[in-house]
Amino acid sequence: MTADARDLARWSETLAGIARTGMAFTESLYERERYEEVLHVAGDIKAAARAAADEVEVEREVDHFVQEWMESIGEGVPGYVTPKVAIGAIVGNENSEILLVQRKDSGIWLYPTGWADIGYSPSEVAVKEVSEETGIECDVSRLLGVVDGQRMGFSRFGMYMLLFHCTATGGELNPHPLETGDVGWFSRDELPEATAGAAWWGSMAFAAIDGEQAPATFDPVRDAIWRTDDT
């Protein structure tokens, strides 16, 4: 998806989030009707973004987006729309290698990741995902950073990734039979060709594996949040 299409997608999801949150709290029929109109505008923008990326035809997608958004509206605080939270684990071993998993559905390689689960702390999710996806046991060392997935372009909806550095403590490589095609340890110079996003996370990951200490990173505030980079 191009930068312009990503901006359109971000704007549409933001508008939809505002409208859905408004519908969750308001008791006014008039306001609900206005918020629903905003959802249709957001659907137009999102469909245009996907069309700009040569993915779909606009006309057949708008109603689908609006219906999906409408079905997700709750009441009160449960209806307040926020980004989803994902947890990623950079796991290193004594050979300064990184643990990667191959997604069964796409064939793409990446560090272990998963959605945050209720009842677990973020670090506990990291340990759980590593064990379930790879068979490796690990300890969590520190938080490496918080990433806005939509801003980075690897998510089409609001999503924050909490990325932890972990150290392997035991276990054996054993890919999850449903989610994982393969697992393995890789050096910085021998990452699989189909490794996703290593250009932005690779140096940070191997610096942590090498024992370098640095403050957790986060996306800087943009000079003009709601304008494209070229305006």
DSSP string, 101-128: EEETTT--EES-EEE--TTS-HHHHHHH
Query: What is the rounded distance in angstroms from the CA atom of residue 12 to the CA atom of residue 20?
Result: 12
Is the pLDDT at 194 greater than 80? The verdict is yes
Contact residues for 222 (Cβ-Cβ < 8 A; gap 6+): none
Region 6-30 average pLDDT: 87
**Mean pLDDT value of segment 98-127:** 94
Between 86 and 3, the higher pLDDT residue: 86
Confidence at residue 54, expressed as pLDDT on a 0 to 100 scale:
62
pLDDT attached to residue 157: 82
Q: Structural domain boundaries of the chain? A: 3-79, 84-218
Q: What is the pLDDT of residues 149-168, one digit of tens each?
A: 888 877 878 899 999 999 99
Q: Which of the two residues, 66 and 13, has the higher pLDDT score? A: 13
161-185: average pLDDT: 95
According to CATH, the superfamily of the domain at 84-218 is Nucleoside Triphosphate Pyrophosphohydrolase (3.90.79.10)
pLDDT at 57: 53
Q: What is the pLDDT of residues 52-99, one digit of tens each?
A: 666 555 555 677 777 877 887 887 888 888 899 999 999 999 999 999
| pLDDT higher than 50, residue 231 | no
Determine what percent of the chain is predicted with pLDDT higher than 90.
53
Comparing CA positions, the residue from 80, 106, 219 lying closest to residue 162 is 219
Residue 186's pLDDT is: 98
